[in-house]
Structure 1
Amino acid sequence: MNWTRDFGLTMRMILTSLLLLIVYLIFLGVLAALGFPFESLLLVAALMAFLQYYFSDKLVLWSTKTRIVEEDEYPELHRMVESLAARAGLPKPKIGIMVSPVPNAFATGRSPKNAVVAVTDSIMRTLNREELEAVLAHEISHVKNRDMLTLTMASFISMLAFLIMRNWIFISLFNNRDNNMGALILVYVVSIVVWLVSTLLTRALSRYREFAADRGSAVLTGNPQALISALTKISGRMDYIPAEKKQEVEGANAFFIIPALSGNTLMELFSTHPPLEKRVAALQELGAQMRGY
């Protein structure tokens, strides 16, 4: 199979952006109707969005203590990434190593030109060559689909609502001259609703992009079974990782190929990843299509 653009992902990215824009306009309309001085919050949120856009990859690498490695350090890893990037029609991304007992991988970067594909040292000991190549192809697919940028920008409205939720007491004091506590409580309630809706929308998009990246991996390698095996191994290994070690990397779960959950069960609606069983079933169906069945 040749690489084809995932119109499902494209349409979901467009639809998510439009729905978030509508939510954003409604949110601003409510604030304006209440006479809320939100200009400073908009400025702060815009600055945060700007920093997130330009420095999100560096923040992810810093927070996960991922080190960019050169070709002479990990020549085989570099060769695999370079080959996969060439098949995908992309420039070779930088390659990072994250020291962690949690076997995992992730991709970050706002564009293919500054993308980074990273793996933990433990995943290279857990997977065989074909499985590792399938995982790397999954991450390359995220770069090809440019879904990281969409999620980063889509999180703007959620970030603004969360900012109001976190600082509503300070905002109440700032607006005390109006003695309009009822309006401020309404703003807080609306902020919660906006945060909830925007979070659900971005998480739904995040789950679909994992399906799209799985499909991209199968296309790039021609071996969906290798990714099934890799996902199963990584997921199974998670049960033997100490909870404190998984807690150390939970902040990067949205980027990982398999989330490292420390024990708190998440509702499926709020999950950043689809269930493993659904991913395996989709890959098996794709494998049957590739074999002509």
Structure 2
Amino acid sequence: MNYARTAILLAGMTALFMGVGYLIGGGGGMMIAFMVALAMNAFSYWNSGSMVLHMYGAKEVDARSAPEYYGLVQELAQRAGLPMPKVYIIESAQPNAFATGRNPEHAAVAASTGLLNALSRDEVAGVMAHELAHVKNYDTLTMTVTATLAGAIGMLANFAFMFSGNRDSNNGGIGIIGSIAIMILAPIAAMIVQMAISRSREYEADRMGAEICGQPLSLASALAKISNYAHQVPNMEAERNPATAHMFIINPLSGQRMDNLFSTHPDTGNRIAALQDLAARMGATGRGGFAQAPQAAPASPWNTGRRGPWG
């Protein structure tokens, strides 16, 4: 159901984009809008991952520089049947994480130092399994496309207002009132569609991530902790780039807790309730599970009081 809903919303986003182009320039405007969308999506397809990682100053780590963290992601990727993604750490006090990349073969996952400091090993496993679920479901590509289209719709709406004075209704123009309406309503409609897609993908990634790590309650506990910290510890880079907020496991922006069409994420309480229901159906107890899987693993650095598993 989530996949069908996402496909419908993506189709609606594309139709909205082309519709704005048609209102501005008729059939020719619609074709120009379509070509612009193709060009922007092609650029985003190849470059969005590296751009976001650079934006947040993410540093790549490996088995030597961060053996525990890297090994945890490696085992989760094996459980999920995924190629090993690139692994990054972000210097940020706010606990959070995100995934990016155009497909599983070119994916990357990133966790903040705040997350690795604040959460237990099982909770970190739940968070990273959630991010790998996004990779497995190609959500990183889907959200890149929607964010690009939303930005392009806003750009077209501004063009409609800028050029409205040079066109009148006798020449097929939409007039100043129509231009103002497009400038206001089109970006709002695009934002609603973008948020709806993001929300539906988060529920699915929670479910699949819980199945990958085997502990729904660990992921639920992680969500509760991250949500609490997110409202106390600001993420200034995210505040400067709110268009990237949908990428994180919990909305990194301050003051957005309402479970409505204007929220980038579902309400955390609703997500936790869904995970608790999944735990009951899986017979999960919230103990053991993933933590017991690596038989030869060293003692977890998340429980030793050290500053974090990154050397």
TM-score by length of 1: 0.85
1:19 to 6, 12, 15: 12
> Any conservation in 2 of the 1:243–1:263 contact (CA below 8 Å)?
no
Compared with structure 1, are the counterparts of its residues 162 and 282 closer, same or farther at alpha carbon in structure 2 (3 Å cutoff)?
A: same
Structure 1 position 215 matched with structure 2 position 223: no
Distance across 2 between alignment mates of 1:77 and 1:135: 12
Amino acid at match of 2:42: F
Q: Indicate the larger mover: 143-152 or 161-170.
A: 161-170
Question: Deviation at 1:188?
Answer: 4.2
Structure 1 position 128 matched with structure 2 position 101: no
Q: How does 1:22-41 map to 2 (within 5 A)?
A: 22-33=15-26
Question: Deviation at 1:252?
Answer: 3.2
Aligned position for 1:5? none
> Any conservation in 2 of the 1:249–1:260 contact (CA below 8 Å)?
no
Aligned position for 2:272? 280
Aligned position for 2:97? 105
Distance across 2 between alignment mates of 1:274 and 1:144: 20
Distance across 2 between alignment mates of 1:10 and 1:181: 38
Distance across 2 between alignment mates of 1:169 and 1:190: 8
> Any conservation in 1 of the 2:257–2:263 contact (CA below 8 Å)?
no
Q: How does 1:191-206 map to 2 (within 5 A)?
A: 191-206=183-198
Distance across 2 between alignment mates of 1:265 and 1:276: 8
1:86 to 78, 81, 88: 78
Distance across 1 between alignment mates of 2:238 and 2:148: 27
> Any conservation in 1 of the 2:99–2:131 contact (CA below 8 Å)?
yes
Distance across 2 between alignment mates of 1:148 and 1:179: 42
Question: Deviation at 1:87?
Answer: 1.1
> Any conservation in 1 of the 2:161–2:180 contact (CA below 8 Å)?
no
Compared with structure 1, are the counterparts of its residues 242 and 163 closer, same or farther at alpha carbon in structure 2 (3 Å cutoff)?
A: closer
Aligned position for 1:4? none
Compared with structure 1, are the counterparts of its residues 202 and 132 closer, same or farther at alpha carbon in structure 2 (3 Å cutoff)?
A: same
TM-score by length of 2: 0.80
Compared with structure 1, are the counterparts of its residues 174 and 59 closer, same or farther at alpha carbon in structure 2 (3 Å cutoff)?
A: farther
RMSD: 2.9
1:234 to 226, 236, 242: 226
Please give the per-residue CA displacement for 1:182-228, whole angstroms capped at 9, x wherever unaligned.
52542442353333223212211101111111111110111111011
1:141 to 112, 127, 133: 133
Structure 1 position 247 matched with structure 2 position 239: yes
> Any conservation in 2 of the 1:103–1:123 contact (CA below 8 Å)?
yes
> Any conservation in 1 of the 2:153–2:187 contact (CA below 8 Å)?
yes
Amino acid at match of 2:13: L
Compared with structure 1, are the counterparts of its residues 18 and 245 closer, same or farther at alpha carbon in structure 2 (3 Å cutoff)?
A: closer
Q: Indicate the larger mover: 139-148 or 44-53.
A: 44-53
Amino acid at match of 1:186: G
Question: Deviation at 1:256?
Answer: 0.8
How many residue pairs were aligned?
Answer: 285
> Any conservation in 1 of the 2:10–2:146 contact (CA below 8 Å)?
yes
Distance across 1 between alignment mates of 2:235 and 2:125: 28
Question: Deviation at 1:166?
Answer: 3.3
Aligned position for 1:67? 59
Amino acid at match of 1:253: A
Aligned position for 2:48? 56
Please give the per-residue CA displacement for 1:16-67, whole angstroms capped at 9, x wherever unaligned.
123234434433443344x875766655544332221211101110111111
Identical-pair percentage: 33
Amino acid at match of 2:213: T
Amino acid at match of 1:207: R
Distance across 2 between alignment mates of 1:245 and 1:149: 22
Q: How does 1:124-203 map to 2 (within 5 A)?
A: 124-168=116-160, 170-172=162-164, 183-203=175-195
